[in-house]
Structure 1
Amino acid sequence: MESIDIVIWITVSKDLDLKKVQSQIAKRLNLELDPNEVIEERAKMLLKRLMMKKFLLILDDVWDHIDLDIVGVPQTDDQANRKILLTTRSLDVCRAMMTDEEIKLDVLKQEAAWNLFAQNAGDVVEVPSINPLARAVAKECGGLPLALKTVGKSMRNKRRIELWKHALHHLQHSDPHVKHIEDEVYRRLKLSYDSLPSKILQSCFLFCSLYPENYSIRTDELIQCWIADRLINEHQPLEDCFNDGIALIETLKDSCLLEQGDYAGTVKLHDVVRDVAIWISTKQGSEKPCASILFTNITKPPKQFSGFSELTVILLVGNPINKIHDNLFAGLRKLRVLNLSQSHIVTLPPSLSQLQELRALLLRDCCYLEKLPSLGALRKLLVMDLSGTRLRELPNGTSKLKKLQELHLSRTHHLETIEAGTISGLQSLELLDMSFSAYKWDTRCNVDYGKASFNEILTLDQLSIVKLRLDKVDSVTLDSAWLMKLREFNIQISPGSCDSNHLATQHDEKRAILRGVDLMGIKGLNGLLDTASALDLVICGGISALSELSISHRLSSLESVKSLSISKCDCITSLISGDNISGTVLPNLEHLSLNRLENLGAILGGMVPRKGCLKWLKTIEVVDCKKLRALISFALLQQVKNLEQIKVKKCSKMKYIIGGEVSAEMIPKLRVIELSDLPMLKTICSRLPAWPALEMIEVRNCPMLTKLPFATSNGVAATLKEIRGELQWLNRLIYSNDEIKSSLQQRFQPLKPLR
């Protein structure tokens, strides 16, 4: 930005007063405005003066949309050097004011936070006996400048250790006893809470404070709890409940009250924001009595929650509890959420059946849990999560849970028994997750062996999400109509043990995994192959090309498949064989992964197939295919004009990546090329085209690749940002001339050696 005439800094604050904003701007401009004049006339005077200036207008602490036209501020203009910057705790304000760029100001790093605290607390923090306590107090401020300054000033030059211990204790217990903390920190942050548009949102925010300091909360678990605690309407489809929950979470994040957690799919509260939430709850008196005992290393909970008859939520997540007293749940007749996930319990007492208002029973990753009492009395239960437990049988009375919407049994590696009629009794069930469970579904029709059969699942009219494994499908029909009705599915056909080694893709909403099956001989796959958006083939036999599936199973084209992964299928010699197909195959495929295919000689084999095959392919990744000499033949190049990424690794006979005469029109969207461990690779492509979209090339351990596909400096893509590789490889490169050498070396970024 070029020089400006004036910087105008205006503090707007919570109660927006447009005349006051106008007066502050006018004062900085040495312009006198008549306080009795209407706002429109004042705006004309401001506009006239500001149009003559190159200015930076800073609007600080904005809580609501400000119509700058009404105020009299001209539109921003790069040429005229008119800029506006605003600070706000609400992304909704940014959207309403149509900001061009949003920059999130993170909390201070540890060292910067300490320096700010020490600056305000004074030299006393360097006293050896006080320094460790002072650093602990500073850490409790969570890098928040406002808290660091306020607490630091309150402790300035205090030399008694007892005072520092006292301050630390109260900060650790969310008690704003420290002078000025309540007024200068908590009340200011409470403005964000007060600005939330509904009481429901405020309650959702306060609910998050039940989790421990700096704890990353799973969003799906949080939404389950909100539904169970009646913060989200339970009388609607599960998808709508989830969407409502995501909307609530995003609103809290936009208001800077909730932030991204440490892991994907999690959120958390900033430590000081959590303290404010606890302070608000304490001040207001809890409208929804809750208990939260988390990460306190308790091994023996109380024998009974006496005096807590109004309790609605108990969270005992992550505690090494190994035994629950028989009467612990007696009298808790209003309890709606019980979360004992990641505890060490082996069983739960019969008093569990007294929790007749219970809506969420969350026992995820209770890895010692072997048995549960009868659950038949929990008639209002909406969600039950038993994932990662050691249960050998589903609890008695499960079939009576007529309102149950979610049943999570993933990673139940010891589950052997589900009584016949249990699953078919759950007529409200919308989600059944049994991924990586040891339970063997009986797929024989019209035979009652005392165990729940797969046909029971087919009777669940409300079901929209299914994740499970079947040993075989020969005698059960996975028809397209049923599968199309599902919003999501993850179905693995595998005669052996289940396998969890499948990387997530962006098309996993309908995923089929075939492992260790004869693709030519197996029956009953038509519906699955017709509807799957992601298809994984692992150690499968019976076909030499995937195109044969469309013949053997009378499929049109595998047109639903957008992500395809094939690994360890030694019979595969090509992905598509043009000799045995008349139509298009995989017309909508976007992501292709080929791994450890011992006999793969080409992606396209035989005659050139009809146009439309692989038309939408965006990424191709090939690993450890030892017979593959070229990745993309000239015939294939005609098909894949939407290709964006190429990744090739550990293909010992690979000599070139792209074959034939290549022109820019054939690779208009290719952005990334990553090559690794290719000892025979000599060239990326034979001809040297322009690269209209290429951004990055990465080369690791490709000793024979001594030329890059650029003939002149003009041929180096204007879009090319970097070339990554080892330094010794860079030194071996041969260039057409010094000009191209300089152009490429300017973009070089050395790779770190692999350990």
Structure 2
Amino acid sequence: MFEKAWNHLMEDGIRIMGLYGMNGVGKTTLFKKINNKFAEIADRFDVVIWVVVSQGTKTSKLQDDIAKQLHLCGEDTEEWENKYESEKASDIYKVLKGKRFVLMLDDIWEKVNLEAIGVPFPTRENGCKVAFTTRSRDVCGSMGDHEPIEVTLEWNKAWELFQNKVGDKTLSPDIVENAKMVAKKCRGLPLALNVIGETMSAKTTVQEWDHAVDVLTRSAAEFSNMDNKILPILKFSYDSLVDEHIKSCLLYCALFPEDEKISKEKLIGYWICEGFLGEDDLDRKRAMNKGYEILGTLIRSHLLMEEANTYAVVMPDVVREMALWIASDFGKKKEAFVVQAKVGLHEIPKAKDWGAVTRMSLMKNKIEEITFSSECCELTTLFLQNNNRLRNLSGEFIRSMQKLVVLDLSFNNALNEIPEEISELASLQYLDLSFTRIEQLPVGFHELKKLTHLNLTYTDRLCSISEISKLLSLRILKLMYSKVHGDVSLVKELQLLEHLQVLEITISTESGLELISGDQRLANCITGLVIQDFRQKPFNMSLLVSMVNLREFRVVRSNISEINISDLQNPTRPCFTNLSSVFISNCKGVKDLTWILLFAPNLISLCIDFSEDVKEIINKEKATNLRGISTPFLKLKTLDLLCLPKLESIYWSPLPFPYLKRIEVGDCPKLRKLPLNATSVPRLEEFVIVMDPLEHETELEWEDQDTKIRFLPSFDRVNHFS
């Protein structure tokens, strides 16, 4: 199917290509393969633009997505967003008219007016192409493709896929005929075949398979009037989930936009506060482990997909449709779940009965204010994050949500004030105000007696969180890059939070660091630490050894002659076994990072930038004096080295990088060699080297010719559009 679609699109006479088929048949998967293929022929086109359209997407939203990829927005996105659609169209047209482009539109529901967006019509003369996916052949015709390609899976391939998923041990001779009947109910859709196949893989008796055929047949009849025939089929897999909590967790994922990469950790945090994880809610570590177990179940069931970086999951579109269908009581109570995420809203949508709404997601829109005062008496979750024009929330609106448990207002960088009425939300457990411009917490904030999770990350205008110690239920407090730093007075307040389990904090004084590291209970809570504006010379890492759960460590804007480990009693064993991320930025005096890397065997991400004195990442003399330390970087996935004018060496010899996905080097003129040999990176198909400027690639020294031949294809040659 891929070869057919690719070859068709590359024909000289083809300017517009449509791929159509049922939801879940694999259109987007095929489309992504085509998109990735363009990277191999980057010299043929000036730019390839990928846009997810989805139902109800407005013209302005399409223009915004295209503009971002053309770098038309710049840093001031508000200036772009305030333009009229006609002005945006003119700007886009001016950039594209002289370019040979490919526009990829995924999941369109109706004709897309290219002229209104500002996209020149593809012709033989300009050499441009437009490709799209849709569920409807009629839409293909309206777009100008009267011979579109239908994406299907032939029966023999569908049966083979189903057999592989169920397994030979289950498919005994007396089950095969029933198995074929079940497979045919999946209508040739790969997702359904995977989902139902996984569900049936443990069913080993004829009676269980008889039951499956019966249920699937009755479901098809019961919901015969539905446009999407696959939802009742997928519901069988949903019904087979063993626990009601797991079902609730799955339905919750439908609150996010289509194709959204959902952070696993953040998702589990929502689940915990919603009470989906039962009695484990009280113990953070146990609850997180249970949450990850549920995610594993849903991923193995193909109801969620795991992102390549493993930190996030994506809900397949058709599973999301099923979840919204079930959450609305099979369409009977559509206002139970109000989900209008990432659709370009400028105001809150209308609802017939706000009192029936239990969960609402309006994230990633352009809502500027919410002033209405309707009663949202049953609402438990409200997602308003990423509405970067949101400036005003009325107190009446806040007061009406007396059952609200989860409120996410993050990434609203125009929001500088929270109504005092928030203190009346007696049920509120989860509040995320990160990346907002709030200057103070509202009066009465300490009355939120049930609040367990408070995120104030990157609230760089928030000066004080006095009386934080009165939040008696608080278990998670995130303050990294807040203007509130961990000075002595704050640390003393934190010591009064008896139930605190997770703390992320910025510290800028030695006294504050000594106080917090000397309190073992508080030190155990720290998972994220930013050392900022330090002037201590040298900085001793022994102050951090008590922080046994430290996962993320950052040093920024500091002047430190050296960072050492001199006071450690036993410097031959790793001290920071949970540390997974290190970020060093704008630091003077630091010449190497031997101090931390050799003591962090599970490091996943390392980024060093704008640090003018860094000469080497690991110093050979220091490292060889440390006995019993394992090879560094064995878990490393990403290495970013940017604007390091004196950097000459990462490591003095080649290293194994079993999990490495990316090395990015920019403005490091003295770095001539990467610590690689021909066996360093086993999975080369997942690995990329980004060099800036790209010409620096030709100046690199290689361990040998085999190493050079192996890694040259890994250099990122994607043309950055400018």
Query: Do they fold alike, i.e. is TM over 0.5?
Result: yes
Counterpart in the other structure of 1:723: 710
CA contact (8 A) 1:574 1:604 kept: no
* 1:609 is the counterpart of 2:625: yes
Percent identity between the two aligned chains: 20
Distance 2:700 2:322 in 1: 62
Q: 1:362 deviation in Å? A: 2.0
Counterpart in the other structure of 1:364: 410
Distance 2:231 2:308 in 1: 25
State the AA in 1 paired with 2:620.
Answer: L
Q: Larger deviation: 239-248 or 383-392? A: 239-248
CA contact (8 A) 2:270 2:406 kept: yes
Aligned mate of 1:458, from 495, 499, 510: 495
Correspondence list, 1:448-527, <5 A: 453-475=490-512, 477-479=515-517, 482=520, 486=524, 489-495=527-533, 516-520=534-538, 525=543, 527=545
Q: 1:337 deviation in Å? A: 2.0
Counterpart in the other structure of 2:704: 709
Quickly say closer, same or farther: Cα 1:572–1:605, change in 2 above 3 A: farther
Counterpart in the other structure of 1:559: 574
* 1:407 is the counterpart of 2:402: no
Correspondence list, 1:287-436, <5 A: 289-295=336-342, 297-301=344-348, 307-325=353-371, 327-329=373-375, 332-343=376-387, 344-350=390-396, 352-369=398-415, 370-419=417-466, 421=467, 423-436=468-481
**How many residues are matched?**
512
Q: 1:412 deviation in Å? A: 1.6
CA contact (8 A) 1:675 1:700 kept: no
State the AA in 2 paired with 1:709.
Answer: D
Q: 1:191 deviation in Å? A: 2.9
Q: Larger deviation: 206-215 or 178-187? A: 178-187
* SS in structure 1 at match of 2:520: helix
Distance 1:612 1:183 in 2: 61
> 1:672-713, CA deviations, whole angstroms, 9 ceiling, x for partnerless residues?
99999899xxxxxxxxxxxxxxxxxx99545485x8636xxx
* 1:247 is the counterpart of 2:288: no
Q: 1:406 deviation in Å? A: 0.4
Counterpart in the other structure of 1:683: none
Counterpart in the other structure of 1:52: none
CA contact (8 A) 2:199 2:237 kept: no
5+ residue gaps, structure 1, are 1-55, 74-84, 99-175, 445-452, 496-515, 578-583, 659-663, 680-697, 711-715, 726-747
Distance 2:715 2:344 in 1: 47
Distance 2:585 2:434 in 1: 28
Distance 1:525 1:425 in 2: 28
Q: What's the TM-score, normalizing by structure 2?
A: 0.56
Q: 1:322 deviation in Å? A: 3.0
Quickly say closer, same or farther: Cα 1:255–1:443, change in 2 above 3 A: same
Distance 2:273 2:470 in 1: 21
Distance 1:541 1:457 in 2: 28
Counterpart in the other structure of 1:155: none
Q: Which fold has the larger relative contact order, with Cα–Cα distance below 8 Å and residues 6 or more apart in sequence?
A: 2
* SS in structure 2 at match of 1:256: coil
Distance 1:298 1:326 in 2: 16
CA contact (8 A) 2:503 2:527 kept: yes
State the AA in 1 paired with 2:362.
Answer: L
* SS in structure 2 at match of 1:489: strand
Distance 1:651 1:220 in 2: 34
Q: 1:367 deviation in Å? A: 2.7
Q: Larger deviation: 319-328 or 288-297? A: 288-297
* 1:89 is the counterpart of 2:195: yes
Quickly say closer, same or farther: Cα 1:708–1:309, change in 2 above 3 A: closer
Q: Which has the larger radius of gyration?
A: 1
Distance 2:161 2:272 in 1: 37
Q: 1:407 deviation in Å? A: 0.4
Distance 1:296 1:655 in 2: 47
Distance 2:524 2:374 in 1: 40
Distance 1:57 1:298 in 2: 40
Q: Larger deviation: 479-488 or 246-255? A: 479-488
> 1:301-327, CA deviations, whole angstroms, 9 ceiling, x for partnerless residues?
489x78543442233333433333353
* SS in structure 2 at match of 1:356: coil
Q: Which structure shows the higher helix fraction?
A: 2
Q: What's the TM-score, normalizing by structure 1?
A: 0.54
Correspondence list, 1:225-240, <5 A: 225-233=270-278, 235-240=281-286
CA contact (8 A) 1:550 1:558 kept: no
Distance 1:529 1:282 in 2: 47
- Taking only aligned residues, the RMSD between alpha carbons, in angstroms, comes to 5.3
Quickly say closer, same or farther: Cα 1:345–1:232, change in 2 above 3 A: farther
* SS in structure 2 at match of 1:375: helix
Q: 1:389 deviation in Å? A: 2.2
* SS in structure 2 at match of 1:477: helix
CA contact (8 A) 1:649 1:677 kept: yes
Q: 1:431 deviation in Å? A: 1.0
